[in-house]
């Protein structure tokens, strides 16, 4: 079945260090979206990637979609305490539906 695997599950970094989370799908994705969830909050949309090999940047965040549209990554440069939270990737497998398959998420802790 359709699965999206995300690693690592947890990451503890010192403030100022970089952070990366990876997503991998068992089958080709139509698109991939990234969300951030703060403790006690709900997922907040960050970005969506649709094209093969696409790279998008948002300030210190860089998002990549693999050439085969099966994997994706989120890289944060020089983490800050405000980056704390759980980052989810969510794969869309069909252009005809809004159904998303979420990865398990990576929880980021940043030590000041």
The binding site for other proteins (CB under 8 A) comprises 30-31, 33, 35, 41-45, 48, 50, 88, 90, 92, 94-105
Toward other proteins, which CB reaches closer, 77 or 107? 107
DSSP one-letter string for 31-63: EEEEEEE-TTS--EEEEEE-STT-EEEETTEEE
Smallest gap from Cβ 110 to other proteins, in A, equals 21
Cβ-contact 90, 100 below 8 angstroms: yes
Question: 36 vs 71, which CB is nearer to other proteins?
Answer: 36
CA distance 14 to 66: 28
Q: How far is the CB of 31 from other proteins (least distance, A)?
A: 5
**Least distance to other proteins from the beta carbon of 21, Å?**
14
With residue 111 as reference, give the H or E element that holds it.
Answer: strand 106-111
């Amino acid at each position: 079945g359709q699965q999206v695997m995300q690693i690592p599950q947890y990451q503890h970094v010192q403030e100022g260090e970089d952070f990366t989370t990876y997503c991998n799908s068992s089958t080709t994705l139509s698109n991939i979206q990234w969300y951030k969830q703060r403790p006690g909050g709900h997922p907040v949309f960050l970005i969506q990637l649709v094209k093969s090999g696409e790279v998008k940047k948002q300030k210190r965040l860089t998002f990549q979609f693999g050439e085969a549209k099966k994997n994706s990554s989120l890289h944060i440069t020089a983490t800050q305490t405000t980056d704390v939270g759980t980052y989810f990737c969510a794969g869309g497998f069909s252009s005809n539906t809004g159904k998303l398959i979420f990865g398990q998420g990576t929880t980021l802790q940043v030590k000041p």
